[in-house]
Amino acid sequence: MSKSQHAPAREKIPTLESLGVELHPETVTYVNDPHALAKALGGSGFFELFKNPLVLAAAVSACLGGLLFGFDQGIVSIVLTMKQFLSQFPETDKTVTSAAGLNKGVMTALLELGAFLGAIQAGFLADKYSRKYAIAFGMIWFVIGSILQASAYHFAQLVVGRFIGGVGIGILSSCAPMYISEISPPNIRGALLVLEAWTIVFGIVVMFYITYATRHIDSDWSFRIPFTVQMAPCVLLAAALWKLPYSPRWLAFKGRDEESLQSLMTLRRLPASDPRVQAEWIAIRAEAVRNREVAVSAHPQYQGDSFSSQLKLEAATWADMFRPKFFRKTQIGIMLMFLQQFVGVNALIYYSPTLFETLGLDSEMQITLSGILNIVQLGAVTIAFFITDRVGRKPILLWGAVGMTISHVVVAAMIGKYQHNWPAYPSQAKVGAAFIFIFMLTYGMGWAPVPWSMPAEIHDSAHRAKGVAITTCSNWFNNFIIGLITPPMIQNISYGTFIFFGAFAVMSIVYTIFFVPETRGKTLEQMDEIFGTHASQDNAIATEEILTIMCGLSQSASQPDSNKREKDLQTEYIERV
């Protein structure tokens, strides 16, 4: 018999007894009170992350896409200044061709274009073949791309390699938050979701200094070594991937309830008789059934297990996100990522040595300050980890937008007024460099983490995966544009580059004030109050009905009287629902 391809309909939900589970007396209490369940599973402090090594290892492995993207940014920022690289690929040398700026942009941006295409297909791959296999698929793409880059002797091969590697990064970066949110216990899920943003910056710092060291090699190995080393995490992941558990939510989504329970038991290191495991498993199954109902109700004509039906359903559910009912939430993710890129952060990361050159700094100082700039961003994102839930999302976005605007204005003024004779104005050059660091600090504390986390908060459960996927696609598409246009802008309009990005920083102030909601302290169901919709409330009511069925069906007429407390708890739960 072939394995199920989806969760069962409400009327066909199997009983707990038929699945070999005897309901614990405390299970229904935890089902009815998710906050009590989260508290029972442990605290939310930093050291709680290390109490379950398997979950932490799985989350770190899932963040490979962010780490690899960071590696690429760390490599490119130095490689584009290497004489050895420019000699091997004269298409990127401005002393050889006037099209060098455009060629650098194409080389940089093709990775982001590949990542955009990877992100589009990631949701379908993850739903069809599992989160684990989607991660493996992305890893294979990245390794192939890295081999092509490391072995390239022609510019065309280098560009193709970056595009192929980008597809892998796009798949990996999209699957990471999905997999992490589905394997993490609720008490530390938020902290683990910050890992992807943090690993991007960590990857930038690590690979920047690896490339910083290899630049002194007097051969083309100066850049081939970093392109080769970036594959190392893939080797480690390949060794560990087969041991990583399947997502219990994906297994429930596929109707594989027994396997879902086994996966959850492995992740929580608790037996099937534990009420915490039972409660979380029942909630996971209920959500899978409800999401299936939503899909069937919206698109009954595309239901079926065939590849064609599933592909059509995938396209239809993507289109749903742009209908009036959901578009306000969808555009928040799109616009946050648009502004995150168009305020110029990746222009600074990719081309920081070139930007510091416009301030009249010598080549050694350009590289040194670029490395420090990356460390500043890492520190800022680390600070965001501790303040986001205390201060709120909107305030740190607004403060960041104001700080970025001021920084762009000051840097543009310094370059525009003094670039004709930097040796005579060393203090002004230092002021310009200082405000580049201020930009990175204010960006890292707000605009680095919030555009990644907010879309996962504002969408209801039935549309959360697509909402996050669209946000990721927006990130990569806008990243592609920035990577393409920045080199020719720096080469041709100099300080105008900062005016350009400063204009979008001003736009980010306006957008934050008038369009960004504050989600601090709100439950996912309370998002209806912010957006004036009823999707979360409707889902909550329907899910409670499904939970009642699941818990009620566990009763049998032959159940002994010694289980009276269990019956009372279930009766109390049904009455409260």
Q: How confident is the model at residue 362 (pLDDT cuts 50, 70, 90)?
A: confident
Alpha-carbon distance of 352 to 487, in angstroms, equals: 11
- Taking each helix axis from N to C end, the angle separating 345-357 and 64-79, rounded to the nearest 10 degrees, works out to 20
- What integer pLDDT is reported at residue 285 of this predicted model? 93
Whole-model pTM: value is 0.81
| Dihedral (Cα; 194, 195, 201, 202), 10-degree rounding | 150
- What integer pLDDT is reported at residue 46 of this predicted model? 67
Tokens standing for residue 358: 């416009």
In terms of Cα–Cα distance, which of 68, 238, 79 is closest to 158?
79
In terms of Cα–Cα distance, which of 71, 104, 163 is closest to 354?
104
In terms of phi and psi (left: phi > 0; alpha: psi -120 to 50; beta: otherwise), the region of 421 is: beta
Instruction: Give the rounded percent of residues in the chain with a pLDDT score beyond 90.
Output: 32
Q: How confident is the model at residue 80 (pLDDT cuts 50, 70, 90)?
A: confident
In this predicted model, what pLDDT tens digit does every residue of 415-456 receive, in sequence order? 888 888 888 888 888 888 899 999 999 999 889 888 877 887
Alpha-carbon distance of 314 to 124, in angstroms, equals: 7
- What integer pLDDT is reported at residue 343 of this predicted model? 93
Alpha-carbon distance of 170 to 163, in angstroms, equals: 11
Alpha-carbon distance of 284 to 275, in angstroms, equals: 14
CB atoms within 10 A of CB 513: 12
Render 74-88 in DSSP notation, one character per residue: HHHHHHTT-HHHHHH
The residue extents of the domains of the chain are 47-244, 312-518
In terms of Cα–Cα distance, which of 242, 185, 234, 232 is closest to 207?
232
- What integer pLDDT is reported at residue 525 of this predicted model? 53
CB-neighbour burial class of residue 101 (10 A; exposed 0-12, middle 13-18, buried 19+) = buried
- What integer pLDDT is reported at residue 565 of this predicted model? 38
**Mean predicted confidence (pLDDT) in 88-102:** 90
Q: How confident is the model at residue 1 (pLDDT cuts 50, 70, 90)?
A: very low
Contact between 462 and 290 under an 8 Å Cβ cutoff? The reply is: yes
Backbone angles phi, psi at 390, to 5 degrees: -85, -45
CB-neighbour burial class of residue 420 (10 A; exposed 0-12, middle 13-18, buried 19+) = exposed
568 Cα distance to chain centroid: 43
Q: Yes or no: is domain 47-244 CATH 1.20.1250.20?
A: yes
Alpha-carbon distance of 50 to 47, in angstroms, equals: 6
The three-point CA angle 258-263-269 to 5° equals 120
Same fold, 47-244 and 312-518: yes
Tokens standing for residue 12: 């066909």
The answer to whether residue 526 scores a pLDDT higher than 70 is no
CATH of 312-518, one of 1.20.1250.20, 3.30.365.10, 3.40.350.10, 1.10.3720.10: 1.20.1250.20
In terms of Cα–Cα distance, which of 516, 396, 513, 489 is closest to 444?
396
Return all residues near 330 (Cβ < 8 A) that are at least 6 apart.
321, 322, 467, 470
Residue that has been written with the tokens 């039935």 in this structure = 462
Alpha-carbon distance of 20 to 287, in angstroms, equals: 21
Q: How confident is the model at residue 164 (pLDDT cuts 50, 70, 90)?
A: very high
In this predicted model, what pLDDT tens digit does every residue of 450-502 receive, in sequence order? 887 788 778 766 677 788 888 888 988 998 888 788 888 877 877 888 899 99
- What integer pLDDT is reported at residue 560 of this predicted model? 38
In this predicted model, what pLDDT tens digit does every residue of 263-272 receive, in sequence order? 999 999 999 9
| Dihedral (Cα; 452, 453, 458, 460), 10-degree rounding | 100
Q: Among 195-209, 288-302, 347-361, 501-515, whose mean pLDDT is lowest?
A: 347-361
